[in-house]
Structure formats: structure tokens, C-alpha cells
Amino acid sequence: MNNDIILEVKGLKTYFNTDDGVVKAVDGVSYNLRKGETLGLVGESGSGKSVTNLSVMKLIPSPPGKIMAGTAMMDGENILEKSEAEMRKIRGNKISMIFQDPMTSLNPFLRIATQMIETIVLHKKVDKAAARARAVEMLELVGIPNPAEKINNYPHQFSGGMRQRVMIAMALSCDPEILIADEPTSALDVTIQAQILELIQDLSSRLGTAVMMITHDLGVVAGMCDRVVVMYAGQLVEKGTNVEIFGDPKHPYTQGLIKSVPRLDQPSQERLFSIDGQPPNVIDLPECCPFYPRCDKAMEVCKSKYPPVKALSDEREVRCWLFKEGE
Ligand code: SF4
């Protein structure tokens, strides 16, 4: 494994058994995350981005969900094979997560101090006084004014943006190697969104934390990610550096996503581009390219054969019949 790689996911498959059939939410996804980088995982709702990361954290409700195959190597060990007790040590200590709505992660009945101190004592094995000092330090780092006093507030006493800052402080308080940010700004006002993204980027470069940014917003990815993984119907369809993906998108789905982003240099009367059709139902997907019904470049082969992943260069992969290996 490359020394810079801190997480290597290979062939991850997570399925859900439902009354209507087997939902192949993640179906053979591979990617790696390097020390200190920001990796963007993009795609429409239902593309499998969140399930991919919940699988790595072993937070998939089972039943109905099940990790069917794959490995997630960290420090030479497959964390998908870890017991729940072992995973509790990894979550927070090595990998932390922040979600769209901080209120789903913060307990509304407990003061911020109680919640942060409990987490730090549990993972860092320090006494309460040291944990409080660390919590105040982290709140200060994320820009909470007067943190020694505000730490005694309840979550409802903070605004949405401040609550997300508290979540970031809590997530980073145990020095994790990886921060998974799942749509961290979707529930916030636009002005606050920019501040939170800037904060994540700034802290990641100061603390050396790798960030996995899960988002449907390509603007967020363009502004802050080093590399990008594009997902569709539970599969990886394109992977590359930020410059490659935005400068020369290969997969027709990536091209459509980029075209659908509003641009300031576009005439305001012009209609925004949208990709025709809907993402497919991932129950019983036929053996063809899942993007075929929506693709304006589809060929005969796309209707009957599932395209394999092709490596175009060291960093670049695309799953489309339009490309050959190394092209
Ligand atoms: Fe379009 Fe065919 Fe490529 Fe699928 S494999 S994205 S249908 S060209």
C-alpha cells in the first residue's frame, strides 16, 4: 500500500433486503484516501455515496442491510472485519463523521460540555478537567466566541451554523485521521455554508486530517476537493483529480452533472441544463450500463453489456464503453 494512503476501499458491496427485492445500494466501489487530502464523493440522491461511508464506519442497520463483499484497509487491517467493540474505538479516534443536520447528532437534552467531555474522556483516556480544556480549545479553534462560557449551553441555544461548528469541534477533538463530512452544509444558509466549508478546509490543512466530502453539490467539490469520485446507481462511474474531472470530464454522467451547475458567465435568461430522466431503481438492475436510458452517447453495446472500469491513467478511471484502457 502507498505510504500516503490511509484508507483503501476495494470492491465494496452493500445490499439491503426489502420486500420488493435486493437493493444493491453500493455495488463494487473502490477508492483510496490519502493523508491530509480532501476527496469528494459526488452523485445524485440514491447514488450510494452515504451508504458507502456508513459501510466503512460499519453503521449500516443490519438487517435489512448487509456488507456482501469488499475490504476497507486502514493501518494494515480490514476494518470491515472488526467487532462492534473495536469499531467503537475506531469511530471518533481514527474516523469521525459530521452530518447534514447537527441536531441529529447532538443530544438536545445535554449541555455541549457534557457531550464533548464524555467523547474526549472515552477516546483519549484523560480526566474530566483535561477533557474540558481540550473541548474549550476545540470550540475556540472552530470560531465559537467565548468558548469557556458557551460550552455550558444546550444545542438549541446555538444557531444552525454554530451547531455545525460545534459538531466539527467534537468530531476533531480526538485527532482523527479521517473526517467524513456527509452533506455538511445542505441544511445551512448559503452565507453560512461558505464559512463552514472554509473552516473544514482550514482545519484539515492545519491538523493534517484527510476529509471525505460527500455531496451532490459540484460547486463544493470544485472549490475544495483534491480528487473526485463520481457515483451513479451504486457504482463508481468516474474518478480523477479535480483538474481532470472539471477540466476534461469523460463520463457522460459527469459531463451532464457539470453542465447542470449554474454559471455566473451564462446569460441569465438561458435555461439551466438538466439530465433527462431519473436515476434507475437499483433493485434488479439489468445487465447494461445503468446510465444508458439517460445517455445521449449510448451505443448498441451499452444496452446489453455492463461496462467495466477502465484505467485511463494512474489517477483516472471511467466506467463507460466509450473508452479503452490507457486511452
Ligand atoms: Fe453512455 Fe454507453 Fe457510456 Fe453508458 S457506457 S455512459 S450508455 S456511452
Q: Break the chain into its structural domains and give their ranges.
A: 5-94+176-318
105 pLDDT band (50/70/90 cuts)?
A: confident
Condensed to tens digits (0 to 9), the pLDDT of residues 132-177 reads 999 999 999 888 999 999 999 999 999 888 898 898 998 888 889 9
Q: Whose CA is nearest to atom 3 of ligand 1?
A: 320
The rounded distance, in Å, linking the Cα atoms of 7 and 2 is 10
Q: Indicate if the pLDDT at residue 325 is higher than 80.
A: no
What percent of the chain has a predicted confidence (pLDDT) above 70? 96
Q: Which pLDDT score is estimated for 1?
A: 46
Atom of ligand 1 nearest to the CA of 292: 7
Distance 42 CA to ligand 1 centre (A): 18
Question: Looking at ligand 1, which residue's alpha carbon is closest to its atom 1?
Answer: 298
250 Cα: distance to centroid of ligand 1 (angstroms): 11
Name the residue of 235, 251, 289, 306 to mutate for ligand 1: max ligand atoms within 8 A of Cβ: 289
Residue 14's nearest CA partner among 89, 65, 73 is: 65
User: Which pLDDT does position 269 carry in this prediction?
Assistant: 67
The answer to whether residues 199 and 165 touch, using CB atoms and an 8 Å cutoff, is: yes
- 26-53 pLDDT tens trace: 999 999 999 999 999 998 888 899 999 9
How do residues 276-295 score in pLDDT, each as one tens digit? Answer: 888 888 887 878 999 999 99
Terminal-to-terminal C-alpha distance of the chain: 25
For the chain, the average pLDDT equals 89
For 5-94+176-318, give the CATH class. alpha beta
Atom number in ligand 1 closest to CA 251: 6
pLDDT at 2 over 70: no
- How many angstroms is it from 291 CA to the middle of ligand 1? 6
- For cell 451554523, what's the residue? 161
Q: Which residues lie with the beta carbon below 6 Å from any ligand 1 atom?
A: 251-252, 289, 291-292, 295, 297-299, 302, 307, 320-322
- Which mutation among 231, 302, 303 tests ligand 1's pocket best, with the greatest number of atoms within 8 A of CB? 302
